[in-house]
Amino acid sequence: MTASSPQALHLIARPAGEPKDSDFELRPVPVRELAEGEARVRVSHVSIDPAMRIWMTEQKSYWPPVALGEVMRAAGYGQVVESRNARLPVGTWLSGMTGITEMLYTDGRGLRPVGSGEAPDPARILHLFGATGLTAYFGLKEIGQPKAGETVVVSAAAGAVGSTVVQLAKAWGCRVVGIAGGPAKCAQLIEEFGADAAVDYKAGEVGRALSTACPEGIDVYFDNVGGDILDAVLKRLRMHARVVVCGGISQYNATSAPKGIVNHLALISARARMEGFVVIDYLQRAEEAIAAMAPLVASGRLKGKIDVLEGIARFPEALRRVLSGGNVGKQVLALG
């Protein structure tokens, strides 16, 4: 394989605990002639998502596991560099589930054209106007149903989905409390994303800190982490509260049975609702979310911070960053 040969990253072992470099292997993408109807796409950027850790297990989820030996599944975008498909002219940028590969052969199915010429902005296409932004928008609006004046609490609040939820809830007139790890991320929540208060879960005593930050209780909890933080929130729900179950990252590297919640009976006395959702169910409504968020982005009230690592070989490191809180904003991997 020469230095310029395109490569793809394959899953070769199911990680136990934190994913290791040896769970993956870079293999050359066989270079071949295009068949009629095909295009060759140079993949430029891929999104690094916590859910990838679940796709690497045998666990049943909304998508099947990635099989051992397969190219690792990922959302991304790239540009057509050669084509035998009139609908995919050279220069077209395509977005969708590209996988972690520098080169993709495609007939265009499952990929969406997103312009030609100038490269798309990863902060928009993979973050605010991509699956991350749609997750935040529809999870908060449809499941959380926040009303102006209510208290919204968000976990992993300095991350990609979380920081978008914080800013949307503020824009919709709520009082917002973000939970994040460490003083730097907590300061960022208030100073950059406009949260009213921040709770550093790594400082301990999350329950007490939540009581101080939310003296009237919690109307909406947007949960990205599960585990002990979810339990601490459940004890502080207001009447008719809504708990949006978006993710449970505190459990994704678990090597024993995931930690269940113990305070679920608090849902009874609060007449509260706890509901999960998956963003793919809302993809057909993407334009609605983008139209609602675009003016906030244009006015600077909705910021999309991204954290870019370069090089396909750094995928395991990028995933570990997301799973351990090393990322500052939406984690993206630039390929090739």
Ligand X SMILES: NC(=O)c1ccc[n+]([C@@H]2O[C@H](COP(=O)([O-])OP(=O)(O)OC[C@H]3O[C@@H](n4cnc5c(N)ncnc54)[C@H](OP(=O)(O)O)[C@@H]3O)[C@@H](O)[C@H]2O)c1
Binding site for ligand X (CB under 6 A): 49-51, 131-132, 135, 156, 158-162, 180-181, 185, 201, 224-225, 246-247, 249-250, 277-279, 322-323, 325, 327, 330
Between 111 and 323, CB nearer to ligand X: 323
Q: Which is nearer to ligand X, 39 or 244 (CB)?
A: 244
Q: How far is the CB of 261 from ligand X (least distance, A)?
A: 14
108/181 with CB nearer ligand X: 181
Q: Where are the beta strands (DSSP E) in 13-101?
A: 24-28, 39-47, 76-83, 92-96
Q: Which is nearer to ligand X, 39 or 169 (CB)?
A: 169
- The β-bridge relationship of strands 76-83 and 39-47 is antiparallel
What would the two tokens of residue 35 be?
């068949």
Using an 8 Å Cβ cutoff, are 12 and 26 in contact? no
Query: CB-wise, 211 or 253, nearer to ligand X?
Result: 253
Q: Name the minimum Å distance from CB 163 to ligand X.
A: 8
Output the CA–CA distances (angstroms, integers) from residue 53 to 32, 46, 99, 273, in the order listed. 32, 15, 14, 28
73 with 24: CB under 8 angstroms?
no
| Smallest distance, ligand X to C-beta of residue 184, A | 9
Q: How far is the CB of 97 from ligand X (least distance, A)?
A: 14
The C-alpha atoms of residue 131 and residue 256 are separated, in whole angstroms, by 30
Joined tokens for residue 61: 């989820």
- Closest to ligand X by CB, 50 vs 144, is 50
Minimum gap (Å) between residue 175 Cβ and ligand X: 20
Cβ closest to ligand X, residue 42 vs residue 235: 235
**Smallest distance from the beta carbon of 50 to ligand X, in angstroms?**
4
Alpha-carbon gap, residue 309 to 331, rounded angstroms: 8
Any bridge partners for residue 9, and if so which?
26
- CA torsion angle for 182, 51, 122, 198 (degrees, to 10)? -20
The encoded tokens of residue 245 equal 């179950």
Q: Kindly state the smallest distance separating residue 222's Cβ from ligand X, in Å.
A: 9
103 three-class SS:
strand
| 158, 180 Cβ separation under 8 angstroms | yes
